[in-house]
Structure formats: C-alpha cells, structure tokens
Structure 1
C-alpha cells in the first residue's frame, strides 16, 4: 500500500491543491496611487541625474564694503581753536574752489576789550601816520627839487653874465694896455708927464685884477653849478630811497595787521569744486583745533564700492569678475540687487596700522583680520530704483556683495573629495582653465 502511494502519478501537494481549486485563482491587487508615486519617483531620479550631470554651480565670495568716490571725499577740519562767527554753506550746496565756507574767530576779551582788535587799531593808526609822513615827504621833495632846479638855472644865468662881463673887461683891459704902451713911448720923449702914464698904468692893472676876479668867480660858480646838478642827478634816487623806507615800514605794519587778522579770524574756503555734505558745525559753536567741520563730495570722479577681502577670499577674485551689490539702505528683497564689475585689486595686504584700514576693517560691525586686501568694484549705475524714482548712491553707504568666482559642473563639486584623493586639485584636469574663462 505504501509502495502504491509512493508510485502515485501526482505529488501529494498537487492533489491537495486541486482540492481547493473551486475557490478560484489568487490575484495581487495594486492601488493606482502607488503606481503614480513610483512613476514620479522614477522621473524625479532621472531629473536629478540629468541636473547633476549637466547642471553648473558658480562659487561666490561674500564681501562687505562702503560706497566711495574715485577721487575721495574732502573732509575739512578747524585749523585752530575758536568760535564760528560766520557760516556760508548748507547741506547739499554746490561750492567752487575758493568759496567762503566758515569764519573762525580766535579773538580774546580782556578788561580793555578785544585784544586783537586793540592791537590792530594801533597798527592801523601807525600806518596812517606813515602814509601822512610819506605824503609830506613827497611834497617836500618836490619843493626841494624845484629849488635845486631854480638854483641851477640861476647859476647858469650868473655864469653867462660873468662870462659877458669878462669879455667886456678883457677888451677894456686890452685897450688900456695899448694906450699905456703908447704913453710909455711918449713919456720917454717928454711929451706926456710921467704921472699921467702911471695913472693909465694903474687903470690897466686894476682892470687886469678885476678880470682875474671875474674868472675866479666863474670857476666858483661853475663848481656850485656842478654840485647843484649832481644833487639833482641823485635827488630822485635819494627821494625814492626815503619813500621806499617808508613803504617798507607800511608793508611791515600791513604784514603785522594781516597776521593779527589771520589770528583773529581764520577764513575756511573750499579746496575744490563739489557738493557740501555732512555739515557738523553751525554758527556760534566753539570748536577746537582739528574739529571736523564738513565734507565736500567732489564734482569730478565716479561712484565706486570699496571692499576689504581676507586672504582666504582673494585667491580667485580677478579684475572683470561680476558682482551683485546689495545696498544696506535699500533692502534687496524689495529693491533688488545691482550688477557691478571688479575694477581693481590691491596686490599688497593692508594692515590695521595703515590708518584707514582700522575703520575700513570694521565694516558692518565685523572685525576683519589684521591682513586684508582692498577690492574696488565699479557699479553699472550710480542710482537705485526706489518706488519709481532714481535715488543717487550716497558716499558711506554699507554694501554687501557676492563676487562670482569659478563655475563647475555639479558632479565635479560632488566628486571633488575623490579628485583630491586621486591627486587632483580643485577638480578634474582642464577644469581650471574653464573656471577662469567662465567665471561669473
């Protein structure tokens, strides 16, 4: 019996299965949502794969900085302690080089009044006296010169008269001599008395003496005329020397007065053309030496944004790299971001001891490392569109920016650790050239 059972045509499991066939064949039921979810998952995986294979990512560096101008803002300070007695400018006013901005008074008051005012009054009084003395001197010099000219003319006339008298006397003496010579011959013959000859001889000798006196007078007159002419020739120089001395004294008094005026009131003028901004001091205020007065935004130049980048961020920043700017006064969530381009990069690290680096290193309340680099970006436009109007950028605005660096495939960024392990630096061979040429 057991052998027959073992020799049966069908297995026992098949026979048992046929017993329950009347229940029907079982069928696995799958819900429609599971199918849709599976399809979506497959599509999502495919899209992620395509995105990873063909998508790109640009590495960026975030910097903070301020809006500046290419020529720098002029900040005026008080040259000396004193009181502002006059203010000639207001916020936003256009000024030109040399325009009057402030008048700072440094005068002090004593029991006798204002010290500088009293000293200046005395100096001006001395100057007036010197001017009057110079005017009197000019009149006296003119009279003296006229007298010398009249003396010279009188001497010339007197010399001419003496010359004429000498001519007449010489002719008369010659006549007397001839007459005396004739009488001398007649006296020897006894025709004329000796006494008459002697009288004629004395007359002749008297005329000779008179002639010599006249010639001596002529020499003296010519000497006086020469002296007078010499005085006339040097008169103008001597008079000019005296007048020059008085003028030098007046000039010295003017210099002292100017110094006193400068010490009393200091005039602060505009060093260049521009727009007045940040007026810190008003009329009536007392200021110390070095106190900031105002700033002047130069009319020339263009708007720039200055950033300070650490050594870790400066490696891949290049001139021409694109930048997106976000101005602190204009939130980018509402007013958007504005494009710019890297225009200049300092090649030497700045230090906190470099002066402006200390203040610049604390942009937006963040203390930067001791060594940093200055990066200058040039915005494509110097205004911001706010509520339909163009608002100009103001110097000193805080700015946050993203500088776009290298661009690579997503899978290169994902697999970068493997590239590093295999000896690659920063991606697959050949990616560096593509990164530099496709930055931004």
Structure 2
C-alpha cells in the first residue's frame, strides 16, 4: 500500500457544505455599466443623423433675368428720363442721344439739312394749294363753256326747227308753182324764184347741221376734259404727295441720325444706371438694367461637374449671404428648383463669379425676398453673392460606420 490506513481515514473527514467563489461587487457594476454604455452608443449611432452636403457659390438673379439695355446709336447722351428704382412701362422713353456734326459756317449739319427739307416741304404744300385752286378754276371754266355751248346748241336747234318749217312751206309752194307752170298759168321766172328760195332754205338747214355737229364736237371735248381733269389733278397731287413723303422720310432719317430716343423694351424696375448725361456713348455702352415686373429673386448656384451627380430638384439649400454674415444673422433655407442639363463654360457667359472650369447652373428658390437684421427687413438685391450648402443626403452615424462593409459587399 502506498498510504497508511490512518491517512485514508483522515482523508474521509471533510467540511460540510459546497465551495462558493466570492467575487468583488465592483465587477458587476462595471459590466452593467459597459453594457448600458454599449446600448447607449448603439442607440446614439442609429439615431443621430448628419447631412452630406456640397458647398457651392452663387448669386441672386431675378426669375425672368435682368435686361441690360445698350444704346442703339453713337453720340452724346442728351437726356436721361429715369432714375434708380423707377417703375417703367414697355415703350416708355428712357434716354435721348444726339450726334452733332458741324459745318464750316458753324451751323449744325443736320439742322441745316432739316431746314432745307422744311423749305421744300412748304414749297410743295404751296404747289398743292395752287394746284387745287387751278383745278377748281379749270373745272368752273369748263362748266361755263359747256353751259354756253349747250345754250348755243339749243338756239341753233330752235333755228333749225323754224327753218325746217319754212323749208316745208317753200317746198309746198314750189310744188304748186311747178304744177301751175306745167299748166301754163305761171311763168318760168316765177318758178325759178320759188326754186331758188327752196334751195336757200335747204342750204340754211345744211349750214345749221354743220353748226350743230361742230357744237356737239366741242361739247364732247369739254365733257372729255371734265372727265380727265380730276384724274390729271389727282395725278399731280399724288406726285406732290410722293415728293412730300420722300422729303419727310429724309427728315425722319436725319432726325434719327441726329437725335434718337431709346425706349424701354419691357415693363419693370430700373436699376444699375451706368450712363451719365453729357457722356459720349456707343452701341457697346450699357445704359442701365431692367428687372422685369413679377420676377422674384432666386439663387443661381454654380455647381462643379464633380459635385453634380447626386444633386436633385427639391434638395434643401442652406444659404449664407456675404452681405449678411451668418454668424450674426443666420442662414436662409431654400430648395433646388431646376438644374441645367448643359454646361456653362467660362467663355460662354459673363458671370458675377469667376470660374475657370465648366459648371452646371442650379437654381434655388428663396422663402423670402429680404433678410431680418436688427429688427428690420432688408431687401435682397440682384447680384448679391452667397455661399450655399446643398444637402445631398441624410445618414446616421451607424450607416456611416457600416458604409465600408456595404462597399466591400458591393465589390464582392
């Protein structure tokens, strides 16, 4: 035996009960705290959201754009009838430009030409008046001539009627004398006298017929003149009117060369007046700008091509105006309303913001047309620069932490 009996007996006698391992109480608290912290962190990661944004620059512009008005002619700005902020209507005169060219005599060239045209116009008007008077006089003369001819014709016709009666009587007398002469009761001389008288009446009738024919020809000529006279007069008037129209056209052209009135192309508000009275201007000189009526301001953003992939209509935009520091006056929240499908190249358009790369133009609406500052409302103005954060998407921190795993799954 390896052990003595006494040793084995001693081994059989043990303490009553079971073995219990006692741990410190602080270990339970730490475990519970760590679990609660894990749950809290998991809840925070799943509930806390942050926005992925794209920061771009932009400027304010009217919804219908800004109309920049240029001079149509070269010359000197003589008058300017508008001022900043004035509401104007379409077609309203805005400015007047003069282009003066002097002569050696010291007289203005255009003025001298216009005066000469006015003199010619007066002469033509006088010529037209004389033509009207001459027409009236000729008409009256022809009328009197026609009346006299008709009176003469009437008198000759009456004379012919009388002579015809006498001719008939003489014819009857001659026939009776001829019968008597044949019967021997009348001498040949008496018969010859009756025949001569008959011939005289016949000749008188022929003469009267010739006079009637002559008078009828004259009457026809007078009537023809009466018909032609108005047409000839109208033709003269048309020629005079044509000359007057040509001279008036020359006058209008000279006036337009010398003096031109610039008018408003659209209804709106005058802004950005650049021209000054007395200054030399040209077609490349801008006069002023017009903001069309019912054209609220909106924000035009220039979006680089690298940032255009996820921008959509309706995206929220947080706007910081340079004129109103956001640290003091806060942000303005807008929304994307449109995204251009074509790129704007640096050479395509003069933009308030300098850019050296191709951009997409993104338009955002504004909730207000003013900013609240110091208890007052300050209106926003065209051309104000701004910086905007376009909110592309909102994600939780948990999604952000798991994003690499999603990316790996996508590659697999």
Tell me the TM-score range normalised by the shorter chain.
Answer: 0.7 to 0.9
Q: Which moved more, 1:157-166 or 1:117-126?
A: 157-166
TM alignment of 1:49-88, pairs within 5 A: 49-88=42-81
SS in 1 for 2:343: coil
* Counterpart selection for 1:152 from 136, 146, 155: 146
Question: Distance in 1 between the 2:138 and 2:41 partners?
Answer: 116
Cα distance in 2, alignment partners of residues 384 and 179 from structure 1: 130
**Which residue does the alignment assign to 1:187?**
181
SS of the equivalent of 2:410 reads: coil
Structure 1 residue 385 corresponds to structure 2 residue 378: no
Q: Map of 1:224-263 to 2, 5 A cutoff?
A: 224-263=218-257
Task: Give the whole-Å Cα distance in 1 for the aligned partners of 2:361 and 2:404.
Answer: 32
User: Is 1:266 the counterpart of 2:266 in the alignment?
Assistant: no
Q: Is 1:298 the equivalent of 2:292?
A: yes
Gaps of 5+ in 1: 1-29, 31-37, 426-440
1:431 corresponds in structure 2 to none
Q: Does structure 2 conserve the Cα–Cα contact (< 8 Å) formed by 1:310 and 1:368?
A: no
Change (3 A) 1:43 1:219: same
| Matched ranges for 1:350-369 at <5 A | 350-353=344-347, 355-356=348-349, 359-360=350-351, 363=353, 365=354, 367-369=355-357
The structure 2 residue matched to 1:409, chosen from 381, 384, 396, is 396
Match of 1:102 in 2: 95
Distance 2:219 2:273 in 1: 76
RMSD, matched Cα: 2.4
Q: Which shows bigger deviation, 174-183 or 343-352?
A: 343-352
Superposition pairs of residues 2-41 of structure 1, within 5 angstroms: none
Residue 209 of structure 2 corresponds to which residue in structure 1? 215
Deviation of 1:389 (Å): 2.2
Aligned to 1:90: 83
Structure 1 residue 302 displacement after superposition: 2.3
Matched length: 384
> In the alignment, which residue of structure 2 is the partner of 1:34?
none
Given that residues 369 and 379 in structure 2 are in contact (C-alpha distance below 8 angstroms), is that contact kept between their aligned partners in structure 1?
Answer: yes
2: distance between equivalents of 1:388 and 1:237? Answer: 82
Residue 382 of structure 2 is matched in structure 1 by 395
Equivalent-residue separation in structure 2 for 1:352 and 1:386 (angstroms): 35
Q: Deviations over 1:24-68 (max 9, x none)?
A: xxxxxx9xxxxxxx9999987765443223212221111211111
The residue number in structure 1 matching 2:111 is 117
Separation (CA, whole Å) in 1 of partners of 2:122 and 2:33: 106
TM-score between the two structures when normalised by the length of structure 1: 0.82
Aligned: 1:331 with 2:325: yes
Superposed CA deviations along residues 365-420 of structure 1, whole A, max 9, x for unmatched, are 5x242x22111111111121122222222111112111111122212212323322
Between the aligned partners of 1:40 and 1:262, the Cα distance in structure 2 is: 92
**CA distance in 1 between partners of 2:100 and 2:268 (Å):** 31
1:432 match:
none
- Identify the match of residue 197 of structure 1 among 191, 195, 208: 191
TM-score, structure 2 as length reference: 0.87
